[in-house]
Amino acid sequence: MRRMLYDVLHETLSVAAVEPTEYRSEDRGDGVFVLIDPTVPKPALLRALLTATPERLVSMNRLAAERARIRLRIVVHSGEVALDEFGAVGSDLVHAFRLLDAPALREKLAVTPEPSVLCVSDAVYQGVVRHAHAGVRPEHFHPLTTGSKEGLTLTGWFHDSSVQQTGTNEPEQATPEPAASSAVSRTAAQTSGSPQPGAAAAPVPALHPYTGNFFFGTATISGDAVAGDKHVGTDRTKPAR
């Protein structure tokens, strides 16, 4: 399943024309998060996530044993992160993982026949999706909200082409997040066989019994970067796309 996960990741980035020097990834066991250079066009990334990702999942799941089939929750956010010797950190990273772990997004994956569900943050929706770039239709994105242990309400937009916005959509009610370890340090999604402590596992269609996650984020980073590039300066040296 991990090989399948990374195969989907690399296929998606290839279709979006993201070069190996333009991203870095960190493994999360049953998921992965990717920091992408802010010069990469976000519409191209979203198009790849909406087309290449589910197509590759369907192709692989068709050939895989039932217990090895996977389904994905995917979140795209933009912001800033800092890198130190332990990895990436920042409030925008926490924001993305809160959306990825939102009960409403888990429910969407549980009920959709598709092998993946994509959610973008409000920043990505307002800055990219609502402008209706080629292959990205804003009427196919619908609001959801989730709470955080900091007492904030976060808004995301999940993709569902079977329903169009009518102009009367209201964000789905936030679900208070229980006290838990930091979203930066914990895995943000899990297989259906490993439910979170104290939480009931959402039902998953039998065809694709295992779930995982992607977090894609574009960010400005400081400190050591991938492919030998190095940016010297203080954190948050310039706004990220």
236 is a domain residue: no
44 is a domain residue: yes
3-19 per-position pLDDT tens digit: 999 999 999 999 999 99
Cβ 211 vs Cβ 190: under 8 Å = yes
Residue 170: exposure state from Cβ atoms within 10 A (0-12, 13-18, ≥19): exposed
192-203 per-position pLDDT tens digit: 333 334 444 344
Structural domain span for residue 39: 2-231
Of all residues in the chain, what percent are helix, strand and coil, respectively (each to 5)?
30, 25, 40
| pTM value surpassing 0.75 | no
Cβ 50 vs Cβ 39: under 8 Å = no
Over the chain, what is the mean pLDDT? 76
240 is a domain residue: no
Model confidence at 160: pLDDT above 50: yes
239 is a domain residue: no
Question: How many domains is the chain built from?
Answer: 1
196 is a domain residue: yes
241 is a domain residue: no
98 is a domain residue: yes
Model confidence at 22: pLDDT above 80: yes
104 is a domain residue: yes
Cβ 167 vs Cβ 112: under 8 Å = no
Model confidence at 59: pLDDT above 60: yes
Q: What is the pLDDT of residue 216?
A: 58
